Amino acid sequence: MTASLEQLRRCHFAVDLGAARTRVFVKGAGLIVDQPSVAAVNTKTGALIAVGEFAEKMTGRTPHYIRVVRPVSGGTVVDIEMAQRMLRQLLGDKVRRTLRRKPRLRAAACTPHDSDPLAQRATVETLVGLGARRVELVDTLIAAGVGCGLPVERPEATMIMVCGAAATQVAVLSLGSIVTAERIPVGGEAIDHAIVQHLRHHHELMLPSQSVRPLQLALSGNGLTSQGPTSTEIHGRDVATGLARSVQVDTAAVRDAIQTPLTAVLDGIGKVLRVCPPDLVADLVDRGIMMVGGSALLPGLDQMLRQATGMPVHIAERPDVCAVLGLGAMLEGRIEPLVLDSTAG
């Protein structure tokens, strides 16, 4: 990333384009957009029918001429034109007019750790299409660390885990920079997929896509641990007959299905700790891991990490919006000057 704190203070708005949700922070107004990164398009006319929550509710329920698309995948914009149209609709005419009045409109955006130049260029072009004359890029790990209140500018280790929809990023931060980091291609979507496949193979039941998260919550407050109800009733469609059917699902079996993709996350944490300087690892024994991102709220995930690593695990107060709030804090100059180089490198 090339942005400095001084450059970020000149920006007028910040965007966090995530695979699951899009968030926009406007300087002086705060967080004004927090919606799913989804758009519904009429394939006959090309017209945009809906965006955000309403478009997400249409998933799997539309006639053949309406297509529900996700222009962002894995933190990377895969359809620039559709991402621009979605953002325009989410911002609304009033906000767009206000931003257009700014002389030399500047924007800031989060990008995943180690994202390639093509992915960064796609993010920049998306915001340039909204009228931005200049776009500053900030590593998601740094932005999330600032947003959840970690003392990233101090000469001491802080460990952060950004649990996204498509990937999980783990890093050790010190002196406003990333000391070591790992990006694991396993996120909330992989866990959802594991649950769906388990029900299909063991119960011959097809689960509607919008029913996966309620199932996770039904596993109770410690859904990935041995506590909670022994079974829960699930409604879906029978694979063979196509008829609606309800089954009693053993929560222990679902927990086992979820453990498989999470093993990769534990391996990633181990890699980061193995290459981290010993002095910084010693700091982490007391401070532990800070979890941010929408998937950090997965029931019992923090407890599972605590048992596997033996380190304290904390969930940020508002884990899903930490990255964009961190960008907002940089825009509004609420960060110590020592973080000046935190986005360089």
Domain match, 303 and 173 both: yes
Residues 231 and 277 in one domain: yes
Tell me what the mean pLDDT of segment 3-12 comes to. Answer: 86
The answer to whether residues 110 and 173 belong to one domain is no
Confidence category of residue 220, pLDDT binned at 50, 70, 90: very low
Residue 226 has pLDDT above 60, yes or no: no
Range of the domain at 115: 5-144+322-341
Q: What pLDDT shows up at residue 214?
A: 59
95 and 176 share a domain? no
**278 and 337 part of one domain:** no
Do 212 and 277 sit in the same domain of this protein?
yes
User: How high is the pLDDT of residue 1?
Assistant: 45
Which helix (H) or strand (E) element contains residue 73? strand 72-73
Averaged pLDDT, 310-316: 92
Percentages helix, strand, coil for the chain (3-state, rounded to 5) are 40, 25, 30
Q: Which of 205-219, 251-265, 268-282 has the lowest mean pLDDT?
A: 205-219
Indicate whether 88 belongs to any domain.
yes
- Tell whether 149 is covered by a domain: no
Is 25 a domain residue?
Answer: yes
Render 298-312 in DSSP notation, one character per residue.
Answer: STTHHHHHHHHH-S-
Binding residue per annotation — 297?
A: yes
Q: Tell me: do 129 and 238 sit in the same domain.
A: no
308 and 332 in a common domain: no
H or E, element range at 275: helix 251-275
- Count structural domains, the chain: 2
CATH number at residue 214: 3.30.420.40
User: Could you tell me if 205 and 87 lie in one domain?
Assistant: no
Q: Are residues 308 and 162 in the same domain?
A: yes
Instruction: For residue 150, tell me if it sits in a domain.
Output: no
- Asked, for residue 164, whether it belongs to a domain, the answer is yes
209 assigned binding-site residue: no
Q: Are residues 300 and 250 in the same domain?
A: yes
262 assigned ligand-binding residue: no
Question: Phi and psi (nearest 5°) for 30?
Answer: 85, -160
Nearest 5°: CA angle at 171, between 166 and 175?
140
Is 295 annotated for ligand binding? yes
Q: Is residue 75 part of a domain?
A: yes
134 in a structural domain = yes
pLDDT digits (tens, 9 = 90+) for 76-134: 899 999 999 999 999 999 999 999 888 899 999 999 988 899 999 999 999 999 999 99
Q: If 0-12 CB within 10 Å is exposed, 13-18 middle and 19+ buried, where does residue 298 land?
A: buried
One domain, residues 48 and 73: yes
pTM for this one? 0.86
